Structure 1
Amino acid sequence: MSSQGPPSDSPPDSARQRLLGDVIAHLTAHGIGDVSLRQLATAIGTSHRMLIYHFGSRDGLLVEVVRAMEEQQRAAFAEMRREPATSAAELGRRMWRQLRQPELAPFERLFFEIYTQALQGRAYAQPLLDGVVDDWLGPMTDFLTRDGLEPTAARAQARLSLAATRGLLLDLLATGDQEGVDQAMEHMLTLFTHLTRSGDREPR
């Protein structure tokens, strides 16, 4: 590995972040597959040496891609939570409208690709499994509890909702049936409303 760093007029952190952004843009458009570090470097207009300098290896780079993806998702969710929402169902509709945008489809394909590789035990992808469910359950449970569900029921509903949302995104990627998945999501959100209005409680 070369000891030579990036040009002296380019701060290392800035150069690293720019490269990471370029890699994420390329992978969201084309997927991971068996792409090599050299192929990635060529595709984004840099050198294999620069990617090695900043990320160490292909797997090291993909770890950073996973982490950046999760950070972007958390930031988008946090921003949405700051906007007034009349109910958990309304927040769910806002989230779904954002997630279903066609321009996000490449990002979602990449998410599922890395998720699958994590489940297959690929070491580089393992960080995705840390918090991939639990980090979302707290905020979702809070909204459902605020809507009237008991905490245990709210957490169970949050987990079901997260799984259903990811399943519908996968359905949309596989079938392209926008109308069908929209109807399924609306049906689930309508059930939310019925649950919270009935004040569903934990078993005693």
Structure 2
Amino acid sequence: MSSSRVDGRALRFQHRRPELLAAATEYILEHGVTGLSLRPVAQALGVTHATLLRHFSSKDALLLAVAEKVRTDMAAWLMSDVELREARSAAELLRAVWRRLCEPQEQRQFLLLFEFVGHHGEKSGEDEELSRSIVQDWTEIIADRLAADGWPPEDASALSTLVLAQVRGLQLDLLVSGDRARADRAIDFAVRLLDHSTRAGSADDHG
């Protein structure tokens, strides 16, 4: 008999993974990572611990899947939202995204991010996938838009890192201080600098 025989139970439940991941993501966004155990997650999702493990082999595997879903959902929103699609520049896009990210439902992803960093910060190679999902994949999305504005690839890469750090840093500030007006002024200043730099670069290209 072939050793590659398919597990019938795995096939039967395979279609449920997206549904379970969506529900698990909502649960973890609401409850956080600290003290997280798979059994309460499974109970909240209405499945057995064994079923959850069949789809996500460990707690870390589930957390990685959740981090990736948060990123892909945001990327899909960036592509599908009419206001964002019609943004004429990265600066205009950043301003619109900031408004969305300040909504309480969206702010939960930053709380989760900061918990991820605290939970995984001292680990190494085993967290490369998580590191890519919460840092590199995001900077690539931003860099692609900056490149569309005319930024050279190396500059777009460096600036995307700066933009990501500004947004996350200001979200941390906002979560701690609750001072939305000050955070809005800071992001508006960053947007104006970005817009000015983009216009200056365009003028140099055509000068």
Fold in common (TM above 0.5): yes
Alignment of 1:1-204 (within 5 A): 5=9, 11-80=12-81, 83-121=85-123, 125-130=127-132, 132-147=134-149, 149-199=151-201
Which amino acid in the other structure matches residue 198 of structure 1? A
Which structure: greater helix fraction?
2
Pairwise CA distance, 1:170: 1.3
Pairwise CA distance, 1:4: 8.6
- Is the contact made by 2:110 and 2:168 (CA closer than 8 Å) also made in structure 1? no
- Is the contact made by 1:144 and 1:158 (CA closer than 8 Å) also made in structure 2? yes
Pairwise CA distance, 1:131: 5.2
Query: Separation in 1 of the partners of 2:124 and 2:30?
Result: 22
Secondary structure at 2:9 match in 1: coil
Pairwise CA distance, 1:85: 1.7
Which amino acid in the other structure matches residue 162 of structure 2? L
Pairwise CA distance, 1:174: 1.6
Runs of 5+ consecutive residues of structure 2 not aligned to the other structure = 1-6
- Is the contact made by 1:66 and 1:125 (CA closer than 8 Å) also made in structure 2? no
**1:57-111 Cα distance to aligned partner (Å, 9 max, x none):** 3233223222222222332233359712222211111111121111112222112
Mean CA deviation greater in 130-139 or 35-44: 130-139
Query: CA RMSD of the aligned region, Å?
Result: 2.9
- Is the contact made by 1:23 and 1:40 (CA closer than 8 Å) also made in structure 2? yes
Secondary structure at 1:199 match in 2: helix
**1:175-203 Cα distance to aligned partner (Å, 9 max, x none):** 222111111100100111221222287xx
TM-score of the pair, normalised by structure 2: 0.79
Query: Separation in 2 of the partners of 1:118 and 1:167?
Result: 18
Runs of 5+ consecutive residues of structure 1 not aligned to the other structure = none
**Number of aligned pairs?**
197
